[in-house]
Chain A
């Protein structure tokens, strides 16, 4: 069937609009939409008409000019004219009164109040105007604050001028207004919720551990006695540090009022000081020790820098010891290795006489977590903290094949970990990709031949690729070092260098973009997570070939869609 017969109905409609257009050409255009763009003829109609109207000469000059409303920046209200739009001005907010008003039969929340110009001077130098807020800017228009308004317009009514703040107005807070102290009561929150805040909290929990400890003053002026321990409820547990006597035993149920939560590295901790009140709490339905101990068990995926009192079961992957000279000249031995559980792998360091065999299952009580090369490193200081298990609690893990598949959302919400695989779509190729120069002292990247730390340097060349992986909900920066980058690009560093110098860096990036942008990528490696997001360091990456039919079947099944 020719395009002309297949699309006869649509062609007739186009002909009505564009009598001069060629039917064969119109048919081709519909075929192009259907085959190349996957748009059926009935949906393509308007697009095709547009195309032929343009093609058959209805096209006029594109540049009909209308005056552009330019931004007007002023310092004082007196510089404004009655018909100024798109004004930028800095003002002090004097008052903000919200009100519901009927606008064209619809109830709208608007607000009005006073603002003063010249906000950085004494108030006698200021002029006060009325304003109306049509754009719900209440969160930033706090009385007492100084704000920059961009895109406001002047309104004149009965000879009196005021400002209109519109929905498109940008309000930037330059100086915060009146203090908003958080209300304090003695209402407790769950430990999980308390772990999320930084500031004062009240909690009810069972004492899981408590023992005296000391903090050594750095200036050598002595020691401060403290207590450390952990409390738990059914939402989780949290470590505490008490600067005063702590007389509650393990197992006691207590209510802590007016303690503050601080973060030690990445781990929140409750600080108990002189102002904190601790009292015995009675609740017969509160979970008992045994129940809470069970819920305390963590896995490698849960480890965070700075955690203490960690109880965990692990399988040893490898183990080695090395001797080094400590600062005071004596020789010390440190033992370490890679360990695994079903959620991933990490490093274990022992400052004691611990010599497990690869494949052995062990149980650790009271370990602590520090960071080693951006990944958690479990530390035990005493042989009593570890016990060997005769049976593995899970099916033996094969270290060669132990990649735990984790979604991007779980990665960004979790902690730093090793031995993971994940996938997502490449949505950006960062311009730091390609050949870079590193400082020979510290391996940091040189900028303009200079290291932030070590000044001008003769850099050592290295290869690196930087992408952003995104699944539509979460994203992570993806780094490929020299080896994975060479493997992915299918050529050695010298060849890559040659290509970049022959085509130029921009073209190299542009070619790379054509190859990877909007493509799915599968990544093996480790991740590091901080407040600004997740970074993935790849050991190996591969592009996933699109299989739209299979993907469609899977998604349709997931959402129970039937064609």
Chain B
């Protein structure tokens, strides 16, 4: 057997990809995917801060866990919550060695206990034909952790995010070449991703990232009461830029229908539909209107569970 599922599929001849520590929000906001060209080349989700994510290490409170039956056998789907948002993960039918652990986690979840989970997994993404991207994680291994280990991960993920934020700041005004970024002080491992992300994403406000980093620190320090009262949605600047974008952006209805058709029978979360529309250039408001319109007026999508949608057929 060997470590076939743990090292890349070609017998480990390629260097293993390191596990990026990343909060859910940074990961889910990503709309840039780099597909490996060769048969066994790794693929990456490239985030706005330039992280090239093939493998990641994430943690959070288990908010959902369920077993599904697909054409190629049973698989598991779940989501974990961190201070910034939600990571979606699954355990694929072709990973039977993980199924006993997944069953156990499912049983733990169903007792109603609070379960903190750590997951090492590979990037996964679905894309609609209009360019809306939905990122998730295919678990390679996972385990329940205690709160001290969770806090420790919060600090590590905050550290890694701050490092990327600093690299992103250094890249401002730098020449957008590998050497230009390196000279500006972007660490070597972030240079290729930063180059691609700066070419792909438009300017954005990094303040939201700092908000959940602060939350992570205050939780790790045990200062539960001092949650900074910052509401990012009330940022007037952002609203303006969003509504400007929406005039030129893709019709969010097309984005949503695209995701539905490319995702088969899977249910898609509300937040992810909105995020996909935003990354395809609409405003959040337009995305929400579009979801309602498709559900209530044209009935092209349905909401079998609150907050989770599928295409009507």
Residues of A in contact with B (beta carbons under 8 Å apart): 32-40, 42-44, 46-47, 49-50, 53-54, 58-69, 104-106, 139-140, 166-173, 409, 412, 425, 427-432, 466, 468, 470-475, 477, 506, 510, 513-514, 517-520, 532-533, 545-549, 551-553, 555-556, 558-559, 561, 563
Contacts and interface: CB of A to CB of B under 8 A. Distances in A.
Contact of B313 (A43, A66, A169, A430): A66
A167 B131 contact: yes
A548 B152 contact: yes
Contacts of A42: 227
Given A428-B120, A468-B6, A551-B152, A558 B159 contact: yes
Contacts of B37: 139-140, 171-173
A466 B35 contact: no
B12 A40 contact: no
A389 B189 CA distance: 41
20 contacts: A36-B61, A43-B83, A50-B306, A62-B66, A140-B37, A412-B15, A427-B19, A431-B6, A432-B2, A466-B3, A470-B19, A473-B189, A474-B18, A513-B101, A517-B118, A517-B143, A546-B151, A552-B158, A555-B159, A559-B159
B140 A563 contact: no
B252 to A, nearest CB: 13
Contact of B57 (A59, A63, A472): A472
Interface stretch (B177-185, B262-270, B287-295): B262-270
Q: Can you list the 6 inter-chain pairs with the closest CB atoms, starting with the nearest?
A: A37-B61, A36-B114, A548-B151, A53-B306, A546-B152, A518-B118
Interface string B54-67: 01010111010010
B100 A510 contact: yes
Nearest to A86: B262
Contact of B158 (A106, A513, A532, A555): A555
Interface size band for B = 35 or more
B304 A64 contact: yes
Nearest to B247: A105
A546 B149 contact: yes
Contacts of A517: 118, 120, 141-143
A59 B140 contact: no
Interface string B10-23: 00111110111100
B220 interface: yes
Interface string B36-75: 0111000000000000000101011101001010010000
Of A168, A428, A520, A552, chain B has the most CB atoms within 10 Å of the CB of A552
B226 interface: yes
Contacts of A35: 224
Given A53-B307, A548-B152, A561-B217, A66 B260 contact: yes
Interface in B152-182: 152-156, 158-160, 162-163, 166
Contacts of A105: 248
Given A167-B127, A532-B13, 13 more contacts: A38-B83, A44-B81, A49-B306, A61-B304, A66-B264, A68-B264, A166-B129, A168-B127, A472-B20, A473-B187, A548-B155, A549-B151, A559-B162
Given A63-B265, A104-B250, A472-B160, A520 B152 contact: yes
A551 B220 contact: yes
A235 to B, nearest CB: 15
A201 to B, nearest CB: 19
Nearest to A164: B129
B294 to A, nearest CB: 14
A427 B15 CA distance: 15
A517 B181 CA distance: 35
B218 interface: yes
B137 interface: no
A134 B162 CA distance: 34
Contacts of B7: 430
A277 B201 CA distance: 49
Contacts of A412: 15
A473 B18 contact: yes
Contacts of A47: 63, 81, 86
Contact of A548 (B154, B226, B227, B271): B154
Interface in B245-280: 248-250, 260-262, 264-265, 267, 271
Contact of A428 (B15, B101, B141, B220): B141
B194 interface: no
B116 A36 contact: yes
A39 B81 contact: yes
B236 interface: no
A33 B215 CA distance: 14
Given A38-B83, A62-B305, A561-B217, A519 B149 contact: yes
Nearest to B231: A42
A561 B114 contact: no
A425 B142 CA distance: 13
Given A37-B61, A472-B160, A64 B265 contact: yes
Contacts of B33: 167-168
B37 to A, nearest CB: 5
A168 B101 CA distance: 32
A547 B129 CA distance: 46
B214 interface: yes
B198 interface: no
A264 to B, nearest CB: 22
A519 to B, nearest CB: 7
Given A532-B13, A561-B217, A39 B141 contact: no
A69 B265 contact: no
B36 to A, nearest CB: 8
A429 B249 CA distance: 45
A547 B312 CA distance: 50
Given A64-B313, A518-B143, A518-B153, A561 B214 contact: yes
Contacts of A546: 148-149, 151-152
Contacts of B63: 47
A555 B162 contact: yes
Contacts of A559: 159, 162-163, 166
B110 to A, nearest CB: 13
A558 B60 CA distance: 25
B127 to A, nearest CB: 5
A475 B143 contact: no
B265 A65 contact: yes
Contacts of B14: 532
Interface in B186-223: 187, 189, 213-215, 217-223
B305 A38 contact: no
B299 interface: no
A563 B35 contact: no
Nearest to B22: A472
B296 interface: no
A463 to B, nearest CB: 17
Contact of B265 (A66, A104, A427, A518): A66
B18 A66 contact: no
B16 to A, nearest CB: 6
Contacts of B261: 66, 69
A549 B264 contact: no
B83 A472 contact: no
